[in-house]
Structures are given as C-alpha cells and as structure tokens.
Amino acid sequence: MKAVKIENLSVYYGQTKALENVSMEVEEGEFLGIMGPNGGGKSTLLKAVLGLIPTTTGRILVYNKDIKENRSIIGYVPQFATMDKRFPISVFEVVLTGCIRKKISLFHKYSSKDRELAYEQLNRVGIAKLANRQISELSGGEFQKLLIARALAVQPKLLLLDEPTASVDAKSRDQIYELLGELNKEMTIILVTHDMMAISSNVRSLACLNGDLTYHGELELNENIVNKLYGCPVDLIAHGVPHRVLKQHRR
C-alpha cells in the first residue's frame, strides 16, 4: 500500500517556483527523511500533501484517496517558528484541539474520551506533568513535544514533521528521535530535517529536494548527488553516529 503518491507536482507562489515536476511514492510504514537547502521546497511539499496550499500542477493521493477525503488520517507537526507561543492557551487545551475530527464550532464540547486521548498523548511524549501550563511558559523542547502530542491526538496513519528538532537541546532531541522510532512501528513518517543525526538514527529512506527531486532512495548518497544538492558535502558527514550516511569522499 502506498501511503503517499505524488505525480508531477509543481507549486508556484505567484512567480516563485517552489517545486517543479516532483513525483515520488512513499510506502506504508516507511520513515522518509526529506533534506535539501533552505528554500528547496521541503515545507511546501508537506503542505501540499496536507492540502494546505493550492498546487499548480500534479496530483497527490494519500492512502489511495484525494487529500480532501483523507486529511483526518494525517498528523502534522509544523515548523516551530511559524507558531505563536504567546497565545493564551494551556498545554492540555492545545492537544485537545487535535481531537477535533469535524469542523470546529464556537461552543465545541470535548468528550471525556477526547480528554483521555489528549492526556495519553501528553504522557506518550513525556510532558503530562505540564498539562496545565500556559504554552508561553514552555521551553523549546517541551513545545516541540507538545506539537507532536497534538499531531498524535489525531490518531494519524501518516505523520508529517517539519524540522521538529530545530531549537531543542541535545537531550530533548534524542528523546524526540527515540519517540519517532517508536511511532514508526505504528505509522508512516515523513520528516523534514537539516539534522544528519536524525537521518542517521531513524530514517530509512531519503529524499532530497532542491526545487526538484534530486534524489529519492536508500540512505546512501553519493558525492555527486550531495554536491548537486548542497554544493559541498563536507558538512554533511554524520560524525560519531553508528551509520555513515555518506560514502567516503575526496575533498
């Protein structure tokens, strides 16, 4: 079963090209890492899969259905920088919003089942004790875990994460990777990251985006591909991690 099927996707924001003719398939149960330079179209790809932005050309199927019919099976962890932490809402309330299946109404009432589910997710990501805190009082790592808990409250089959370890310390980062490894036993994961540690520890296949799809395949890149993608491979070697992502190369 294909979790995601993308055919000839192009996205333009006015005159700006974000993605050009991208086609790829993601198998159910896969843990796909998406890398690429700033502005390479990684976030755009996730948003297109979610149906959040209009596509210029192409077609996207999620578990064989148009996204409009299947959005409820996707959990999304947006880029940290796009969230406003000053909003006056508690940690628990944020996770609860993930439980809303249909359109939210002004006086939406959550069931006790929703509350249970929300609490379970906070427990799962390890911040249940912060349930009543205002989100403005969270650290970067705690906030990222909250965003993951909210995405999990959807009970997704497909989890999309946009740089979930940006602005978190090393300990929280390790905890998040460990959690993602566990979650991958239950759901398909697509992770946008610049972090080679993430790529080395969890990810099973890799896609590289630089406007177009430069690479999609196994977790071993050759020098050619990396050069094309970033210009220089030197910074991309995952030092001190169990698996080298890149083959040895000459400087």
Ligand X SMILES: Nc1ncnc2c1ncn2[C@@H]1O[C@H](COP(=O)(O)OP(=O)(O)OP(=O)(O)O)[C@@H](O)[C@H]1O
Q: Which stretch binds ligand X (CB under 6 A): 12-20, 93-101, 114-122, 238-246?
A: 12-20
In whole angstroms, how close is the CB of 76 to ligand X at the nearest point? 14
Which residue, 44 or 188, has its beta carbon nearer to ligand X?
A: 44
Q: Report the site for ligand X in 15-54 (rule: CB under 6 A).
A: 16, 18, 36, 38-44
Q: Identify the helix (H) or strand (E) that includes residue 173.
A: helix 170-183
Q: Which stretch binds ligand X (CB under 6 A): 10-18, 124-132, 144-152, 238-246?
A: 10-18
Buried b (16+ CB within 10 A) or exposed e, 170-206: eebbebbbebbeebbeebbbbbbbebbbbbbbbbeeb
What value, to the nearest 5°, has the Cα angle with vertex 23 and ends 47 and 28? 75
In whole angstroms, how close is the CB of 47 to ligand X at the nearest point? 7
Contacts of 98 (CB under 8 A, 6+ apart): 75, 118, 121, 149, 150, 151, 152, 153, 154
Binding string, 102-141, against ligand X, x = CB under 6 A? ----------------------------------------
Which residue, 184 or 210, has its beta carbon nearer to ligand X?
A: 210
> Residue 144 interacts with ligand X (CB under 6 A)?
no
What value, to the nearest 5°, has the Cα angle with vertex 132 and ends 130 and 133? 65
Please state the φ and ψ torsions of residue 27, each to the nearest 5 degrees.
-70, 150
Which residue, 42 or 150, has its beta carbon nearer to ligand X?
A: 42
Tell me which residues touch ligand X (CB under 6 A). Answer: 13, 16, 18, 36, 38-44
